[in-house]
Amino acid sequence: MTAALSVVHPLGAAADAAMTDAPTPLVDASDIAVDFYLEGRRQRVLQAINLAVPKGSFVSLIGPSGCGKSTLLKVLAGLIMPTEGRVSVDGIVPREAAKRRIIGLVFQDATLLPWKNAIENAAFLLMTADDSIGRVEAFARAAAMLKLVGLDDAERKMPSQLSGGMRQRVAIARALALDPQVLLMDEPFGALDAITREEMSRCLLDIWQRTGKTIVLVTHSIEEAVFLSREVHVMASAPGRIIETLPIALSQPRDADSFTDPAFKTAQQRLRGLLIESHRRRPA
């Protein structure tokens, strides 16, 4: 606890905010480096990462496989401690933030419990996080979140009866049931087919617009990143680093027309160019 608070002193943070006259970002990583030990050899996986995600924003991390974007997300989630640098989520270290249910996590696999139905799965993490919360209250919240992700008629279905997209919706509802301030998503639609993927993108956009949650999305898909994000961070590998941050200047709110917006094409081409470049910089 004390260690957590001493990392970012509340007074210091307030003073910084006052000086720069800008709101403190909800997710703030400065000079992050992460080393892994592979077969006894120290390897730098992430290098000099600076990332500031304002409250209520939608930010994507995109980059070639193995560039460390998932590792970066795990650092933000408090699942990996950075070797160097400081991370804070809502002013405290991520591990504490996660315990206080400020962070919601969604992975590529829905990881639902096969012996529980949709609503039990959606309520499960909330009930694990907070023993004092009653079953009735947890289920009410889970039901509301299932409705938000468009699954209100599938509450009693078992995971084996749900499609891949529906399972991932339950996983999103489970994260949202914690009522987190930030949703960290690691390639949540990576295992889905193209059409379901598009559908899920629209669903996520809808959730973002309705709840105003801050979202950090790791993705492989350029279209997904452009369509959803306010800002896209392009990463390169060996060591993993952010090579460019691209603001997406599409009009809000985004909808089907966004795809035909000339700004969409421009951002898409720019990202493609950056990704090709980052691929080329990879050692073979």
Partner 1 sequence: MSRAVFGATAESSGARPQTMRRPLPDWVLALALLAAVTAVWELAIRLLHVSTFVLPAPSAVVRSLIASRAALAGAAASTALEVLLGFVLAAVTGIVVALVIARFERFGRALYPLIVLFQNVPKVALAPIFILWFGFDLTPKVALIVVIAFFPVAIDMLAGLQSVEPSFVALMQSVGASRTKILLRVRIPHSLPHLMAGLKVAITFSVIGAIVGEFAGASHGLGYMIEFASTQLDTPLIFAALVVISVLGLAFYYVVELAERLLVPWAPKFEAHHRAS
Query: Rule CB under 8 A: which residues touch partner 1?
Result: 77-79, 98-99, 101, 103, 105, 107, 109, 111, 113-115, 124-125, 128-129, 158, 160-161, 178
In terms of CB distance, is 75 or 226 closer to partner 1?
Answer: 75
In terms of CB distance, is 70 or 229 closer to partner 1?
Answer: 70
How crowded is residue 279: how many other Cβ atoms within 10 Å of its Cβ? Answer: 14
**Facing residues of 104 across strands?**
183
Among left, alpha and beta (phi > 0; psi -120 to 50; other), residue 86 is beta
Query: Smallest distance, Å, CB 131 to partner 1?
Result: 9
Query: Smallest distance, Å, CB 151 to partner 1?
Result: 18
> Both tokens of residue 85?
């640098």
In terms of CB distance, is 52 or 79 closer to partner 1?
Answer: 79
Query: Smallest distance, Å, CB 4 to partner 1?
Result: 13
Query: Smallest distance, Å, CB 128 to partner 1?
Result: 5
Q: Which residue has the tokens 């919601």?
A: 104
Query: Smallest distance, Å, CB 36 to partner 1?
Result: 16
In terms of CB distance, is 157 or 270 closer to partner 1?
Answer: 157
What are the φ/ψ torsions at residue 227 (nearest 5 degrees)? -60, -40
In terms of CB distance, is 142 or 248 closer to partner 1?
Answer: 142
**Facing residues of 34 across strands?**
46
Query: Smallest distance, Å, CB 129 to partner 1?
Result: 4
CA distance 255 to 280: 34
Transcribe 140-152 into DSSP letters.
HHHHHHHHHTT-G
Asked if residue 31 lies in contact with residue 85, where contact means CB atoms within 8 angstroms, the answer is yes
140-173 in b/e form (b: 16+ CB < 10 A) is ebbbebbebbbbeebbebbbeebebbbbbbbbbb
What are the φ/ψ torsions at residue 138 (nearest 5 degrees)? -60, -40
What are the φ/ψ torsions at residue 219 (nearest 5 degrees)? -150, 160
In terms of CB distance, is 1 or 256 closer to partner 1?
Answer: 1
